[in-house]
């Protein structure tokens, strides 16, 4: 008796749908509705008929059926348990079309953000490397090579974003897509996840190697090297986890069908763990340079300037936190292409903005060279004055060989060369006879550095400098390229190298 009533109700629903299609034809919209009617699975039609019967809505009341939350929820639950995933998506698309639901599409917005930020990231990296390679005599360091590696990994990511993710439905509702498009989207998302994990840890390596270049102190270098080791393990661990999260690997892009044949770990938990560790590591990496500020012999205003330079990286941490919030929709999503839009967008913003922030110190040097009166700082001028003071202590050895003084004048100037030193500093000087731009002082090699070279490398070292006047020390003083340290208690962070 129950089956007969359901059969009669299904027949009535079909008649109503046909009438609804005829009404749509009169309004010029029958094409999509008629096509949808022919695609509606039988299992979904049975669920729809049963839900209408159990609801207060009349068979002809379209508005009630589309807006009654209890009816819609009951029908969707029935469809999910009675139909396959593909049939459920078809039924969802048919009912959304019949109810006149708006078609959501955010693919263009995503493409604009992705391409724009990628363009800026490429420009910053190329300017940074080009300036160092062609306009200065500074060799590329590990931080430069790793920022270039980050960019090289980002290029295929940008291509996948446009040609695979958005082209296969990112930013659209999954029920509006064909099964092949959903499969291609899942495959692209699997690849982009691995690339993202790679970009995160390589970008952090670039910043850490930058710290190694500017902080020569032994203690801080040990801390940085330990952080480098942790970051490498962090990156490799999550890359391997992403590769092996499903068995077989192909199940990463076929499990959406719900047909079995594979097994996966909790992918959402992996994403949350990666985001949490990454944010914690960002905060730790921010604390490393800030911990050195109080040791710097700079005016408090300059300390604020240095702190602000490093705090630019906090913007990346903020973006990472926003991305973490977007992972809420990532967990157990049934509308992958729509729900994954947020995490995909913020992942792109996080990496590209991170690249731009990592290039900021180099951009400052370029601006100083272009407009020194506007962007130059007193620290550069102080360094130039200090080095000039040292250069004046060696007359004739810092100029053309033809201007070298005679032996008598050398002896005469010996006292003047030592006049600025404390009485108990050893005065055995050995003047180098081969390159004329270098001099040995108690076995310590001094090299001539031009003001332009100092400007280009004014951030080559950022160290706690002792008072530059050696006369204030009561013990033997060893000069090492512009910084003084007591021989009795050497401090690895108190010397600087030319």
Q: What percent of the chain has pLDDT over 70?
A: 62
Of 71, 98, 125, the one marking the end of a domain is 98
Are residues 157 and 90 located together in one domain of the fold? no
Are residues 49 and 170 located together in one domain of the fold? no
Residue 496 covered by a domain: no
Of 98, 126, 152, the one marking the end of a domain is 98
Residue 495 covered by a domain: no
Residue 415 covered by a domain: yes
Are residues 148 and 297 located together in one domain of the fold? yes
Residue 492 covered by a domain: no
Of 348, 372, 396, the one marking the end of a domain is 372
- What is the C-alpha to C-alpha distance for residues 117 and 274, in angstroms, rounded to an integer? 23
Are residues 417 and 288 located together in one domain of the fold? no
Residue 494 covered by a domain: no
End-to-end, the C-alpha distance of the chain in Å comes to: 96
**C-alpha distances in Å from residue 63, one per residue of 67, 79, 99, 297:** 6, 21, 8, 74
Are residues 198 and 241 located together in one domain of the fold? yes
Residue 353's contacts (CB-CB under 8 Å, 6 or more residues apart) are 117, 315, 316, 319
Residue 497 covered by a domain: no
Look at residue 458 in the predicted model and tell me its pLDDT.
45
Look at residue 190 in the predicted model and tell me its pLDDT.
94
Are residues 339 and 384 located together in one domain of the fold? no
Are residues 248 and 326 located together in one domain of the fold? yes
Query: Cis omega before residue 105 (within 30°)?
Result: no
Domain harbouring 192, CATH code:
1.20.1070
Q: What is the domain count for the chain?
A: 3
Which residue range(s) make up the domain with 223? 107-372
Segment among 101-105, 259-263, 280-284 with least mean pLDDT:
259-263
Whether 86 shows a pLDDT value over 60: the answer reads yes
Was 61 annotated as part of a binding site?
Answer: yes
Are residues 425 and 365 located together in one domain of the fold? no
Are residues 189 and 329 located together in one domain of the fold? yes
Average pLDDT value for the chain: 73
Residue 491 covered by a domain: no
Are residues 351 and 294 located together in one domain of the fold? yes
Are residues 300 and 196 located together in one domain of the fold? yes
**pLDDT, tens digit, for every residue of 275-290?**
999 999 999 988 888 7
Whether 82 shows a pLDDT value over 60: the answer reads yes
Instruction: Give 291 or 241, the one with higher predicted confidence.
Output: 241
Count of all residues that appear for the chain in the document: 498
């Amino acid at each position: 008796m129950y089956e007969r009533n359901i059969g009669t109700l299904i027949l009535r629903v079909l008649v109503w749908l046909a009438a609804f299609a005829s009404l749509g034809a009169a309004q010029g919209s029958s094409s999509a509705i008629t096509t949808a009617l022919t695609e509606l699975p039988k299992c979904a039609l049975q669920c729809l008929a049963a839900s209408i019967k159990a609801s207060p809505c009349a068979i002809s009341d379209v508005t009630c059926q589309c807006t009654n939350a209890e009816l819609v929820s009951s029908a969707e639950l029935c469809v999910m348990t009675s139909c396959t995933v593909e049939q459920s998506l078809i039924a969802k698309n048919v009912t959304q079309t019949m109810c006149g639901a708006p078609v959501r599409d955010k693919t263009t917005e995503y493409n604009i953000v992705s391409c724009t930020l990628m363009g800026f990231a490429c420009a910053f990296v190329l300017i940074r490397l080009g300036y160092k390679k062609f306009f200065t005599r500074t060799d590329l360091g590990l931080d430069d090579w790793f920022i270039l590696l980050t960019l090289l990994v980002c290029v295929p990511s940008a291509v996948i974003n446009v040609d695979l993710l958005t082209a296969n439905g990112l930013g659209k509702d999954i029920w509006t897509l064909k099964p092949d498009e959903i499969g291609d989207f899942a495959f692209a998302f699997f690849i982009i996840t691995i690339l993202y994990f790679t970009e995160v840890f390589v970008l952090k390596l670039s910043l850490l190697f930058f710290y190694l270049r500017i902080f020569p102190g032994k203690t801080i270098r040990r801390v940085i090297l330990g952080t480098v080791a942790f970051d490498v393990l962090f990156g490799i661990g999550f890359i391997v986890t992403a590769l092996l999260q499903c068995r077989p690997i192909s199940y990463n892009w076929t499990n959406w069908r719900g047909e079995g044949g594979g097994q996966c770990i909790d992918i959402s938990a992996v994403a949350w763990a990666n985001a949490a560790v990454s944010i914690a590591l960002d905060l730790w990496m921010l604390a490393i340079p800030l911990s050195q500020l109080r040791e710097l012999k700079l005016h408090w205003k300059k300390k604020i300037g240095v702190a602000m330079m490093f705090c630019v990286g906090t913007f990346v941490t903020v973006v990472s936190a926003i991305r973490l919030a977007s992972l809420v929709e990532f967990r157990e999503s049934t509308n992958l292409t729509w729900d994954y839009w947020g995490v995909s967008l913020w992942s792109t913003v996080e990496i590209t903005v991170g690249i731009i922030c990592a290039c900021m110190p180099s951009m400052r040097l370029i601006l100083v060279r272009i407009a020194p009166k506007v962007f130059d700082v007193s620290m550069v001028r102080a360094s130039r004055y200090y080095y000039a003071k040292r250069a004046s202590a060696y007359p004739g050895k810092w100029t053309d060989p033809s201007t070298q003084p005679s032996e008598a004048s050398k002896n005469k100037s010996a006292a003047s060369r030592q006049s600025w030193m404390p009485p108990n500093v050893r005065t055995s000087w050995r003047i180098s006879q081969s390159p004329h731009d270098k001099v040995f002082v108690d076995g310590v090699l001094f090299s001539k550095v031009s003001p332009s070279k100092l400007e280009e490398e004014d951030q080559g070292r950022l160290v706690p400098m002792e008072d530059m006047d050696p006369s204030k020390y009561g013990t033997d003083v060893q000069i090492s390229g512009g910084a003084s340290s007591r021989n009795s208690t050497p401090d690895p962070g108190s010397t600087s190298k030319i």
